[in-house]
Amino acid sequence: MGLAQVQAAEVLKKPAIPGCSQDPQVIALAGEPVLEVRRPPAGESLRAYGERQEEALLEIAKDHALQPSRLQRWEDAPFSIIGFKQPGSQPRALIAVDDKQARCFELSREELAGRYLTALQLAIRQYRVNHSLTSWLKATALAALFLGLYLGWIRLQSAANRKLRSQIERGVLLGVQFKRLKRFPLPIGTERLKALLQQLRQVVHWALLALVTYLLVPLLLAFFPPTMAMSKGLRGQILQFIGGIADGVVEAIPGLVSVALILSITFVLVRLSGAWFRALDQGSIAIPGFYQEWAKPTARIVSILLVLAGLAAAFPYIPGSGTRVFQGAGLFLGVLAALGSSAIANNVISGLMLIYTRAFREGDRVEINGVTGVVQERALLVTRIQTPRNELVSIPNATVIGASVVNFSFSQREIKQPIAIATSITLGYDVPWRTVHALMLQSAQETTGVSDLQEAYVLQTALNDFHVSYEVTAFVSDPSRYRESLSELHGRLQDRFAEAGIEILSPAVQSLRGSLAMNAAV
C-alpha cells in the first residue's frame, strides 16, 4: 500500500480539520498514486495544484540525469522544500510543505515532508524500472506466453465442445445413453432433451470463453507500463464483482439455512400426512364419519396447504425478498390471480363440494349433463369422463355441481345391491297380459349379466285408449355393462315376442297400416 493509501486510511478515521478537504487530491505517476494533498497553497484550487504537481513529477521521472538518490529536503521557512539542490546550480523544487498542510494529517511539517520525500524517491525508481528496455522485453515475452496459453485453451475447449456436441447428437452424455433414462419418469421426450442439452452446451461454451478472455485482458495490460493503471482498474472491477458475489453469498447463508430448515420441515410434514391418509385410504386406520374415498383428495388438499404455509414462512428469509424485483413479481402474480380468481375459485369450491358430497368417485359409471361414461379423473377444476366411444369429456366442476348426476355404480358399491335396467313396450288389449308378463320375464332372465340377487318383474304402467304400456325391470351385477345389458334385453324381447307370434305394435299403428293396405288395393 502506497503513502497516499496509508494517509487516506488514517485521515478517514479522524474528525474533519478546518481548512482541510475531505476529498483529497492524489498525485499519481503513470497512474500509480504517490502522494495525497488535502490543502493547496493559497490562491490555487486543489485540483489544479495536483495536476501541476503530476506534470512536474512526470518530467523529473523521464529525466534520467536526475537520480532519485539526489532528491532531498531542505528548510526555507515557512516551508519544507523537496527537490534537487546541488552546489553551484540552481535548486529545482518539486513540492513545498507548510504547517497548514501538515496539520491536515496531524503531523509536523518535517514529518510530512519526510514521508513525501521517501514516497517520491520510490515512485521515480519504480517508474524508471518499469519503463526500461529490460522491462519491456520481459513484458513482451510474458504476454506472448500467456497469449499462447490462451490460444491453446481455446483449441482445447473447442475440441471438447465439438466432442460433447457429437455425443449429445448420438444420445450419449458422460457415457450414459439417453434411452437408459426411460426407466425414470421424464417430463420431456428424448429429442427435446437433446435440444435443451445442445442449447445448454452452447451457453456454457461461450460463457466460459468470455470469462477466460475477460480475465486475460487485465493480465496482459499489467505487463506494460502505459496500461498498468488500466489493468488495475479492470482487476478492481473483477475483484469488486467477485467480492460482491462472495459478500452476497455469505450474507445469504443464514437466510438460506432458514429456508432449507423450513422446507425440510414442510417436506417431512407432507410425507407424514401422506402416510396418514394412505393408511386411511387402505382402511388400516378408520375415523368415524370419514369415508375412505375422501382420503386421497384430502391428502392433496392438506399437502397443498402445507406447501403454501411452508413457502409463506420461508419467503422472508429468501435473499432479496424485499427488493423491488420481488415486489414487482408479487404484483404481477397478484394481477394474474385477480383476473382468473373468480372462475378458478368457483370451480375449485365446486370440486371440493363434489368430493365431500360423495356424488361419485374415480371409476364410477355416471351420467352428467347428458354425458354417460366412466369417471377417469376428479380434479379440483374439472371432471373427466371416458364415454363408451372412448371419448374423453372434460366438464368444469361448476357445471357438474349445477347438473343432475346419475351414478350407476353407487348402489353396487354402497348398499351392495345390483343396479336396475328397465324398458317399456306397448301392446293392444287383445294380447293377454299374462302372456306378455311371461315373455318379458323370460327375456330378462336370458339376458347376460342379469343378477340372481333380485328377481326381474313387470309392471303395467298405463292403460291407454288403444294399448297397454308394459315395463320390465331387471337387475345387473356389473354397472360397466349397463348399456350392453339393456341393448341385449331389447334384442331378447324382440326374439321372444316374434317366436310367440306377437308383433310389438300399438293398435293405432296397426290401424294405420291396415288403412294404407286398403288404399293400395283400391
Say which CATH class 358-412 falls into.
Answer: mainly beta
Tens of pLDDT, residues 21-53: 777 888 888 777 888 888 776 667 778 877 888
First-to-last alpha carbon distance for the chain, in angstroms, is 131
pLDDT band at 11 (very low <50, low <70, confident <90, very high): very low
Q: Which of 10-19, 153-162, 166-175, 277-286 has the highest mean pLDDT?
A: 153-162
Res 499: pLDDT: 92
Q: With bands split at pLDDT 50, 70 and 90, how would you rate the model's confidence at 513?
A: low
Report which of 487, 468, 463, 465 is spatially closest to residue 476, judged by C-alpha positions: 487
Could you tell me the three cell numbers for 214?
A: 475477460
Rounded average pLDDT over 88-100? 79
Phi-psi region of 432 (alpha: psi -120 to 50; beta: other; left: phi over 0): beta
Return the pLDDT at 471: 94
Looking at the chain, the whole-number percentage of residues with pLDDT higher than 90 is 10
Of 85, 60, 82, 64, nearest to 73 by C-alpha is 82
Task: Say whether pLDDT at 152 is over 70.
Answer: yes
**How far apart are the C-alpha atoms of 336 and 46, rounded to whole Å?**
58
Question: What's the predicted TM-score (pTM) here?
Answer: 0.43
Provide CB contacts within 8 A for 74, sequence distance 6+.
Answer: 80, 81, 85, 91
**If DSSP states are collapsed to H, E and C, what string results for 386-423?**
ECCCCCEEEEEHHHHHCCCEEECCHHHHHCCCCEEEEE
CATH class of 418-519: alpha beta
The mean pLDDT of the chain is 78
Give pLDDT, residue 460.
94
Q: What is the pLDDT of residues 233-280, one digit of tens each?
A: 666 677 777 777 777 777 778 888 888 899 899 999 989 988 888 888
Q: At what angle do helices 324-357 and 295-314 cross, to 10 degrees?
A: 160
Answer yes or no: is pLDDT of 20 > 50. yes
pLDDT, residue 335, reads 63
**C-alpha separations of 9 from 13, 36, 40, 88, 103 in Å:** 7, 11, 20, 42, 16
Q: Would you place residue 78 in the very low, low, confident or very high pLDDT band (cuts 50, 70, 90)?
A: confident
DSSP secondary structure letters along 66-118: S-GGGEEEEEETTEEEEEE--TTS--EEEEEE-HHHHHTTT--HHHHHHHHHH
Examine the pLDDT at 445 and tell me if it is beyond 60: yes
Compare 362 and 149 and report the one with higher pLDDT: 149
Give Cα 254 to chain centroid, integer Å.
22
425 in Cβ contact with 433 (< 8 Å): no
pLDDT tens-place string over residues 386-423? 888 888 888 887 888 777 788 887 777 777 778 888 99
DSSP code of residue 502 = -
Q: Which residues contact 145 (CB under 8 A, 6 or more apart)?
A: none
Query: For residue 478, what is its C-alpha cell?
Result: 356389473
Q: Is 60 exceeded by the pLDDT of residue 182?
A: no
Pairing of strands 71-76, 32-37: unpaired
- Mean pLDDT score, 367-379: 83
